Amino acid sequence: MRLAIAALVLTMASWVIGSACAEQSLIVTEHAWARATPKGAPNGAAYVTLANRGTSEDRLLGATSPAAQSIQFHSEVNENGVMKMRELPAIDVRPGASVVLKPGGIHMMMIGLKQQLNEGETVALTLMFEKAGAVEVTARIGKVAAMDDPDKKTDSGN
């Protein structure tokens, strides 16, 4: 009898755990990078690709870095020929989809830089997701006016 009860408890526990896992977020970060900043610049920008390989939607709620006082999410929009930045409260990442943070689109503004971002170095970022929790990212710092990840390979293999 005890063996039957133990088997039933184990079966139920694995069902509950399996159900919980079936509705989870699995965030993968790719191509994390930032632009170098001129000496004395108060703010910088960082970019990353967020891929949700899980089965439920997740949200990027915030980000921190030891290199900045705060990080805000912004989107750039064209209003009657004028580019404007709008702060976003969060970034949704749907299951099976990717969100690319890039120049001219959604990006992270590093506000109140505590240090200059120098080309060739790296900067640490902690991304806080609603379901996935804290995700640590190391972003390579590219040129001041870079438009893409300095480590990303081009068609020519460079």
Annotated domain spans of the chain: 25-142
Among the ranges given (23-32, 95-104, 106-115, 134-143), the one the predictor scored with the smallest mean pLDDT: 23-32
Residue 108: Cβ within 10 Å count: 25
The model's pTM is: 0.80
Q: Rounded CA gap, 48 and 118, in Å?
A: 18
Q: Does the domain formed by 25-142 have CATH 2.60.40.1890?
A: yes
Helical (H) or strand (E) element with 118? none
Q: Rounded CA gap, 60 and 54, in Å?
A: 14
Give the residue carrying structure tokens 């509950």.
Answer: 16
Residue 4 has pLDDT above 70, yes or no: no
Model confidence pLDDT, tens digit, residues 7-43 = 444 455 444 444 444 456 699 999 999 999 999 999 9
